[in-house]
Amino acid sequence: MNTFFVRRYVIAGIFITIILILLAKLFYIQIIDKQYSIYATKNVLRQIKIYPARGPILDRNNKVLVQNQAFYDIMVTPKQVKPFDTLEFCKLLDITKDDFDVAFEKAKKYYPNQASPLVKQLTVEKYASIQERLSEFPGFEAITRYLRFYPDSVAAQFLGYIGEVNDDQIKRSHGNYHQGDYIGITGVEKSYEDVLRGQVGIKNMVYDSHNRPKGSYMNGALDTPAVAGERLTSSLDMTIQKLGEQLMQNKVGSIIAIEPSTGEILCFVSSPTYDPNLMVGRERGNNAAKMYKDPYTPFLIRPIQAYYPPGSSFKPLNALIALQAGLITPETSYYCTGAYKGGLPRCDEPHGQSDLARAIAVSCNTYFSSVFERLMNVNGAKNIDTTFVDWRKKVSRFSFGERLDIDLPNEGRGFLPTAQLYNKKFGVNHWRSNSILSLAIGQGELEATPLQMANIECTIANHGFYYRPHLIKAIGDRKITKAEYTQRNYVGIDAQYFEPVINGMQQVVESGTAHNSQIPGIVMCGKTGTAQNPHGKNHSIFVAFAPRENPKIAIAVVVENAGQGAWYAAPIASYIVEKYLTDTIKRSMSDFNRIKDANLMPDPTFYYSQIRKEAARDSIRKAKADSIRKRGTIKSVATKKRNDNRIAVLTSAIKGKENE
């Protein structure tokens, strides 16, 4: 009997304990734990992405280069869509039924349970006209997006553009990007994507059964705010950027100007250019397609991707190497009869006896061919292989054949030939200084980007060193102080040897080949160049810095198919320098207008065919270099690297490689 009562109390105690536990759990779920409330309202709770404004980009004087403009995307969540009047909906959004069907089927297939874009980039005005009726269509909603707007439509290649992420970019982002997000594709937009993009926010909204918003869930306690992208302050000066683009209209080429004392890039013109606003909006794809077909390749970033023989602008560099080696002095002179030994290279006219400064001023090919021959034969004619390797090392310190690691993607490295290349071309021990004499005057296999040319002028202006060129000065309120931007890069030439070269460069402008480009009250030191072009008229090149004392600007100008450097490149450079240093142009506007209005565009069919031929030719060279390398006959892969880069640069605009 006692045992029965004991069991009854034990069983009752167990049931009471279980009931108390269940009651406690229910109390915890309903009163304490808010997650239950979340789960209970999940069917009416929606998470809406709040996209941040992308960071603006300013010039060095805080003038806006690119800012944001609000647009609206109509999103669809297929599982929430209920039967509706499709034709009425299409009419409301001003789209065709076919366009709707394609977009909706894609959303049903890939994103049935989440919101994805159906119609993109509606203007504020268009969205205002449909906003009131959107709640009539369950499963559809609008989100605010921000696209770029360019108030002055300048510096397109420098700024770059943004576009929607593709599947590969989403996979590589490790969850940072999702379908419909925007990402920098080219230019600064790509280089500084991490700081420009900002951080997406989440807003939790409650909707009723009629798809009408009922307010923020839990008064926004679980929301995360969007964080706008940071402001970028560039080193660009919009005043001379606009002037440069104006002077380069209807011309192919580039202008790049650098502040020698900092390495900050002041002007970055790639011509032909395009209105960056064309890469924004619903017509973006059509506009891009047209530009990809343009034979003049506006997407090619010429200041850092186009290769040119530097021509006579290379002569001061050879002179500096010879001065440092003690092979010449400023007084060393040679007699010019109008041509070097054997008749090549020729000069425009006989220059007679010339010392270093005068040879630079009149751009005497005979003088610099003599200097180069002395450089190559310093260890004897038969040891040119070793001597050339040493010369090449000295030239490379000036940034020839090397990337300067500018803060833009896809910079080219130019080309500085190797001894292996000439051994292959002429045979081992079968070439001499006269075999490569074209290097004396910046021709032959030597190729440089305009950025490299301008950087050499910074080096000369600084008497032996340069700061790494860069385009961005500050992120937000934080000045960029990267070590590589503040470190001096010395080129191995003593400061004392720059003065006689600079003397000659001053004479170039005051009495030499560029005397028509003098700037009143400003001492500019420069060098003209006429780069031979096998595909047509020579390229006009001019490099310079000013003023001579405490230089504020170094510049390189390349105008394709424009003839001698003094004809177009030098005047363009002088106007840029004058405007930057004095904020005005005091000279007669007649010559300014002649330059501005000149149309030097080459025949488009011919120009396009030459680009394709050059790309094909480099492809063949690459294949041969690969074959020889595999056989072990060439230890250096410099030629292969050069061709890889040439092909990438020359065909990018033709094939439309850039990611849309």
Contacts of 519 by beta carbon, 8 Å cutoff, 6+ apart: 546, 574, 577, 578, 581, 587
Residue 213 preceded by cis peptide, ω within 30? no
Instruction: Identify the CATH number of the domain defined by range 303-588.
Output: 3.40.710.10
Counting as low any pLDDT under 70, the low residues of the chain are 1-7, 29-43, 209-213, 606-660
**Residue 6 structure tokens:** 């004991």
- Distance (Å, whole) CA 285 – CA 292: 11
What is the CATH topology of the domain spanning 48-234? Answer: Penicillin-binding protein 2a (Domain 2) (3.90.1310)
Q: What are the sequence ranges of the domains in the chain?
A: 48-234, 303-588
- Residue closest to 259 by CA, chosen among 454, 56, 419, 409: 454
281-328 residue pLDDT tens? 888 889 999 999 999 999 999 999 999 999 999 999 999 999 999 999
Exposure b/e, 475-486, CB count within 10 A at least 16 = b: beeeeeeeeebe
Model pLDDT, residue 609? 59
Residue in the structure block whose two tokens are 């030459």? 610
Model pLDDT, residue 115? 83
| CA distance between the termini of the chain | 88
Model pLDDT, residue 5? 62
Residue 117 pairs in a beta bridge with: 75
Model pLDDT, residue 653? 39
**Residue 568 structure tokens:** 């177009």
Whole-structure pTM value: 0.84
Model pLDDT, residue 597? 96
**Three-state DSSP class for residue 258:** strand
- Residue closest to 462 by CA, chosen among 320, 600, 259: 259
Model pLDDT, residue 33? 60
- Distance (Å, whole) CA 624 – CA 462: 42
Catalogue the E-assigned strands of 150-227: 162-164, 182-184, 201-207, 213-216
- Distance (Å, whole) CA 531 – CA 533: 6
Model pLDDT, residue 30? 64
- Distance (Å, whole) CA 387 – CA 393: 10
Residue 272 preceded by cis peptide, ω within 30? yes
